[in-house]
């Protein structure tokens, strides 16, 4: 894919292919840490085309945020074959890259 797909509704969430690793970035427009990590997330999406990268605004889809117990921004959720395999909040660039690499292999 090479891009970050913005999810704006639960209906869009339901249609996302989950045959490969999906990394969901829960963000908020008002969050400074989100503004700092967002370019990193978008760069990773360009490099790692065998991973699906999604972005969800926590204020736009609150039910999805609740489903994954997201309370800190940014939070990254890792899903494989519709199963939550990992979750990390306030990740650094290195930590985010390491988590993605770990779950691409597993």
pLDDT (tens digit, 9 = 90+) per residue, 5-19? 999 999 999 888 777
Q: What's the number of domains the chain is made of?
A: 1
pLDDT digits 0-9 by tens, 77-105? 999 988 999 999 988 999 999 999 999 98
Of 23, 62, 57, 22, nearest to 40 by C-alpha is 23
**pLDDT for 1:** 56
Q: Output the pTM of the full model.
A: 0.93
- Check which CATH number belongs to the domain holding 19 and give it: 3.40.30.10
Domain range spanning residue 98?
A: 4-105
pLDDT the model gives residue 24: 97
CB of 13 closer than 8 Å to CB of 96: no
The per-residue pLDDT for range 29-57, each reduced to its tens digit, is 999 999 999 999 999 999 999 999 999 99
């Amino acid at each position: 894919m090479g891009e970050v797909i913005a999810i704006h509704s639960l209906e869009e969430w339901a249609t996302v292919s989950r045959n490969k690793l999906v990394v969901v970035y829960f963000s908020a427009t008002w969050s400074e840490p989100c503004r700092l990590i967002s370019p990193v997330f978008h760069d990773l999406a360009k490099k790692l085309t065998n991973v699906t990268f999604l972005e969800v605004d926590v204020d736009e889809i609150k039910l999805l945020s609740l489903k994954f117990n997201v309370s800190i921004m940014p939070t990254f959720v890792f899903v494989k074959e519709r199963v939550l395999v990992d979750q990390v909040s306030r990740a650094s660039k290195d930590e985010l890259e390491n988590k993605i690499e770990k779950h691409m292999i597993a």
